[in-house]
Amino acid sequence: MDLWFLGTGAGRPTKERNVTSIALKLPEPCGELWLFDAGEGTQHRLLHTPLKLSKLSAIFITHLHGDHTFGLPGLLSSRSYFETEQPLKLFGPPGIRKMVTTALDISGSRLEYELIVEEISEGTVYEDGLYKVEAALLDHRIDSYGYRITERDRPGKLDSAKLRELGVPSGPLYGVLKGGGDVTLDDGRVIRASDVVGPPVKGRVVTILGDTRPCGNTLKLAAGADVLVHEATFAAGQEEKAFDYGHSTTLQAAAEAKKAGVGRLVMTHFSSRFRLEDLPELEREAQSVFPESVAAYDLYQLSVPQPARSE
């Protein structure tokens, strides 16, 4: 599971930094690509990564401000150039359907795949056998959501040596045991899954927030997450300005990460007043509160490791 920061700026692009978009590359066997926000120029940034637009299966929009959405029409149109019939799911606040369909209709753009648009509210917005995505409202100038992506726990590893010792023939019975079911052999012996399957592999949790002041739902979404992606538009000492504009500072992001007990904080959405050479100081500010803090830059890539098996 890999996070790619395609744009880490706030408001407008600069020579060093594009506006907001984050890609989440899911591991095999899924192997799909999910996108969180799509500011102007997102598809250009994708071209500088190994990520494939043809693998894009879902887009989650946090809020409708242009620095998070103006790249959508072009990206949706470009996906039609790839030979894929896989539908694309687009999740976002009320208004996202009108925004997208108006742009596509007026421009005469035709999509060669099914676009499924779902306008979200708080709660579970997506769920399948591998992942669950929950959304909650944050505190910004317009409705802004955060997303909690939970990977489901996976069965533990089969003890192949023990299975051979017990005389369990390889094949379908292995699958039953792997799935947690007990099996009965031809000689009447019952092999219990709990005796031959290791502890389950705990799923990863990634929390990606839209623009926000510190708020209670940050902690709800981020509790115990392996990675928290939190905006840090302003630096320490600019709390009043951050509040006025509906944003957070480095220290506030770090405080939220500490309270939520996350594994790592990745800050993004930096004001255009900050240059790349300012990032180390912004990191130091956050690390004074939460040591596992990092300031993202465009094309920064982070692998989310698989947690150890639970006991």
Would you tell me how many other CB atoms lie within 10 Å of the CB of residue 190?
9
Provide the annotated binding site.
Answer: 63, 65, 67-68, 140, 211, 269
Kindly state the tokens that stand for 2: 């890999």
Residues of the chain with pLDDT under 50: 309-311
Q: What is the DSSP string of the chain?
A: -EEEEEE-BSSS--SS--B-EEEEEPPTTT--EEEE---TTHHHHHTTSS--GGGEEEEE-S---HHHHTTHHHHHHHHTTS-----EEEEESTTHHHHHHHHHHHHT---SS-EEEEE--SEEEEE-SSEEEEEEE--SSS--EEEEEEEPPB---B-HHHHHHHTPPSSHHHHHHHTT--EE-TTSPEEPHHHHB-PPBPPPEEEEE-S--S-HHHHHHHTT-SEEEEE--B-TT-HHHHHHHT--BHHHHHHHHHHHT-SEEEEE-B-TT--GGGHHHHHHHHHTT-SSEEE--TTEEEE-PPPPBP-
- The residue among 34, 79, 21, 12 whose CA lies nearest residue 300 is 21
Kindly state the tokens that stand for 94: 């009320």
* pLDDT for the residue numbered 173: 86
**Which residue is listed with tokens 């007026």?**
106
d(CA 74, CA 88): 14
Provide the annotated binding site for Zn(2+).
Answer: 63, 65, 67-68, 140, 211, 269
* pLDDT for the residue numbered 308: 56
**Set 37, 67, 226, 298: catalytic member:** 67
Indicate if 182 belongs to the active site: no
Query: Are 99 and 72 contacting, i.e. CB atoms less than 8 angstroms apart?
Result: yes
Domains of the chain and any CATH numbers: 2-154+201-303 (3.60.15.10), 160-196 (no CATH)
**Which residue is listed with tokens 């130091």?**
284
d(CA 110, CA 182): 52
